[in-house]
């Protein structure tokens, strides 16, 4: 656990909380319908979403499963999740304030353990992944969805994201994501990479709180990359109908935990 880094996360996401909820709740709802089908979520499942933010994904799953727990480090995000929950009218959900590095849950407590759009904020993703394996039951599913820039763009991608959001650490490549699961008694069900649709960069900047440069500087940086046509930064930046847009390289990895399996494999 890094106290300094956790403070950066809480600082950033306390500022982002309301705007982030509005942004994610306006995304198409089938973003989780497809995921629910892929995971095979059903009425007996107990689901944990770590780093749940304003809870949009957790709440999408709630009507399908028996119980949902959302864990996040940022109290302001969980406040937004409660507002969101009241709007959705679901009651099989609880929100827990805590650190994904030290999850306050029993071994095997959940049959689906999910983390979306957050591994790139972690100082020690391997440790958090180990915690996910610990709290998942045998036969359960572990899901990590996150941005996965190509290795040749990784350094520039991370540097750009750190400028936009100082709580960014490192976005794993597809190979690094896959390697997370390789040391545990898990079987990979699928690993799919599907870039997001192009999103307006100014809307993203509106919910960003850069410290080392201005929003205008970031807009200029991405615009120059778009106009170069080279995608040096890894966001597929493009000016479409006069608007600067970016696309995030998202991957979703799903593993199942072997029955009785917990020990790390050599
Ligand atoms: C980009 S948001 C993603 C929210 C949500 N999972 C989604 O897909 O919309 C990242 C979230 O991770 C949380 N977070 C970052 N590091 C964390 C940690 N170590 N433990 C728990 N939550 C953390 C932040 O507070 C923030 O709410």
Query: Does ligand 1 lie within 6 Å of residue 100's CB atom?
Result: yes
Given ligand 1 and candidates 31, 73, 118, which is best to mutate, with the most ligand atoms within 8 Å of its CB?
Answer: 118
Structure tokens at 158: 């991370």
Interval between CA 261 and ligand 1 midpoint (Å)? 27
Tens of pLDDT, residues 179-234: 999 999 999 999 999 988 899 999 999 989 999 999 999 999 999 999 999 999 99
Is 168 touching ligand 1 by the criterion CB < 6 Å?
Answer: no
Q: How far apart are CA 85 and CA 91, in angstroms?
A: 8
Q: What are phi and psi of 235, to 5 degrees?
A: -105, 5
CA of 246 to the centre of ligand 1 (A): 21
Backbone angles phi, psi at 141, to 5 degrees: -115, 145
Q: How confident is the model at residue 263 (pLDDT cuts 50, 70, 90)?
A: low
Residue 105 predicted with pLDDT over 90: yes
DSSP track, 227-251? HHTS--SSS--EEETTEEEE---EE
Ligand 1 atom index nearest CA of 128: 19
Q: Is 80 in the pocket of ligand 1 (CB under 6 A)?
A: no
Tell how far CA 211 is from the center of its chain: 22
Tokens of 29: 């709802």
Mean pLDDT, range 10-21, rounded to an integer: 88
- For atom 6 of ligand 1, which residue has the closest CA? 52
- What mean pLDDT comes out for the span 35-58? 95
Residue nearest to atom 14 of ligand 1 (CA): 51
């Amino acid at each position: 656990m890094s106290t300094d880094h956790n403070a950066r996360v809480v600082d950033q996401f306390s500022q982002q909380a309301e705007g982030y909820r509005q942004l994610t709740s306006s995304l198409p709802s089938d973003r989780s319908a497809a995921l629910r089908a892929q995971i095979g979520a059903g009425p007996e499942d107990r689901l944990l979403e770590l780093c749940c933010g304003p809870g949009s994904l957790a709440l999408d799953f709630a009507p399908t499963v028996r119980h949902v727990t959302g864990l996040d480090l940022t109290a302001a995000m969980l406040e937004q999740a409660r507002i969101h929950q009241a709007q959705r009218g679901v009651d099989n959900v609880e929100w827990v304030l805590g650190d994904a590095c030290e999850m306050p849950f029993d071994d095997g407590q959940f049959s689906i353990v999910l983390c979306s759009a957050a591994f790139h904020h972690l100082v020690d993703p391997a440790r958090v992944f180990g915690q996910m394996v610990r709290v998942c039951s045998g036969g359960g599913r572990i899901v990590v969805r996150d941005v996965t820039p190509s290795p040749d763009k990784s350094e520039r991608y991370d540097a750009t994201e750190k400028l936009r959001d100082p709580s960014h650490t490192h976005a794993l490549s597809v190979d690094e994501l896959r390697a997370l699961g390789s040391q545990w008694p898990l079987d990979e069900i699928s690993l799919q990479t599907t870039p997001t649709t192009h999103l307006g960069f100014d809307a993203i900047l509106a919910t960003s709180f850069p410290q080392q440069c201005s929003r205008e500087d970031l807009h200029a940086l991405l615009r120059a990359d778009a106009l170069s046509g080279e995608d040096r930064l890894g966001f597929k930046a493009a000016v479409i109908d006069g608007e600067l847009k970016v696309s995030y390289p998202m991957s979703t990895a799903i593993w199942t935990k072997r029955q009785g399996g917990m020990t790390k494999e050599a």
